[in-house]
């Protein structure tokens, strides 16, 4: 199990939800934190709490849909503590729209934030991580990255793509002491459905019933932080909905029938 004390950990999507809850747990173990999200004011609030818990903390507000600026973003991240030991690519946008009716611009934005941003960050981090003796790269996918899900065509696609990239990364760079942790949540009580994009790109602006009934961010963070410390290749986070992962694996035809019966939210 890797020690977190004095390690530098960069978390995207850190202003709320899973990212925020993980930041507090890392802060309690005296980590050096870099927090990224859109909302600078919310990041400042999280930073103050992290400092109060014993961690060191810097904020790095950014819109991850701006792929071209990520080179500079990574340079700024390294400037704070001189190294990054753990990268947790957690930021993401969900979706609520039929595949055939969702604007292509919406598909593109979801892919940019959910897939291309963490991929580019990771590619830029790798050389310095390897130079420093290795590191851990974690990424939040979803059980929707294991099977298609109604109203989530682009979201599910982006999460499937994360599995392909980061499982390959694990295989290619394991001997360089790069460890990959794939975080696979089911339903966690966050605001992800509130900020989801509808088919025309408008914000969904409501908390879905399934999301509201999910596990707490605190409970999710405990499992995730433990998995990162142990450098587990994958961790499933959620309740009974995680059964679908195993149903899809062992009974794919049954899984397809069940997905078709899911009531869209």
For 55-80, the pLDDT digits (tens) are: 999 999 999 999 999 999 999 999 99
Give the 3-state secondary structure of residue 4: coil
Ranking 29-43, 144-158, 199-213, 231-245 by mean pLDDT, the lowest is: 199-213
The reply to whether 88 belongs to the active site is no
Residue with tokens 């001997």: 175
Express as a percent the part of the chain with pLDDT over 70. 99
Residue 133 falls within a domain, yes or no? yes
CATH of the domain at 124: 3.40.50.720
pLDDT for the residue numbered 207: 78
pLDDT for the residue numbered 34: 98
- pLDDT of residue 33 exceeding 90, the answer is yes
Number of domains observed in the structure of the chain: 1
Range of the domain at 108: 8-260
Work out the angle between the directed axes of helices 104-111 and 153-173 (0-180°, nearest 10).
30
- pLDDT of residue 265 exceeding 70, the answer is no
Tens-place pLDDT, residues 160-211: 999 999 999 999 999 999 999 999 999 998 888 888 899 998 988 887 777 7
Contact (Cβ atoms closer than 8 angstroms) between residue 5 and residue 30: yes
Residue 2 falls within a domain, yes or no? no
- pLDDT of residue 217 exceeding 70, the answer is yes
Out of 24, 62, 88, 155, pick the active-site residue: 155
Q: Could you tell me the pTM of the whole model?
A: 0.95
């Amino acid at each position: 199990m890797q020690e977190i004390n004095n390690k530098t950990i960069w978390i995207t999507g850190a202003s709320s939800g899973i990212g925020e809850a993980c930041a507090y747990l890392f802060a309690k173990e005296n980590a050096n934190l870099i927090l990224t999200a859109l909302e600078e004011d919310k990041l400042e609030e999280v930073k103050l709490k992290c400092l109060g818990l014993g961690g060191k903390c810097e904020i790095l507000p950014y819109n991850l849909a701006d792929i071209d600026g990520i080179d500079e973003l990574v340079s700024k991240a390294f400037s704070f503590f001189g190294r990054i030991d753990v990268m947790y690519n957690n930021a993401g946008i969900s979706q609520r729209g039929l595949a055939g009716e969702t604007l292509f611009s919406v598909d593109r934005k979801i892919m940019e934030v959910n897939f291309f941003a963490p991929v580019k960050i990771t590619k830029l981090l790798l050389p310095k991580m390897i130079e420093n003796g290795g590191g851990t790269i974690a990424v939040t996918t979803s059980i929707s990255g294991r099977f298609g899900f109604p109203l989530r065509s682009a979201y599910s696609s982006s999460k499937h793509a994360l599995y392909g990239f980061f499982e390959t990364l694990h295989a290619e760079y394991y001997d360089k002491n790069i460890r990959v942790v794939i975080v696979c949540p089911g339903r966690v009580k966050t605001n992800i459905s509130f900020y989801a994009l509808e088919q025309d790109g408008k914000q969904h602006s409501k908390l879905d019933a399934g999301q509201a009934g999910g596990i707490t961010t605190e409970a999710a963070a405990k499992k995730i932080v433990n998995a990162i410390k142990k450098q587990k290749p994958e961790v499933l986070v959620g309740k009974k909905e995680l059964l679908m992962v195993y149903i899809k694996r062992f009974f794919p035809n049954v899984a397809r029938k069940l997905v078709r019966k899911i009531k869209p939210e």
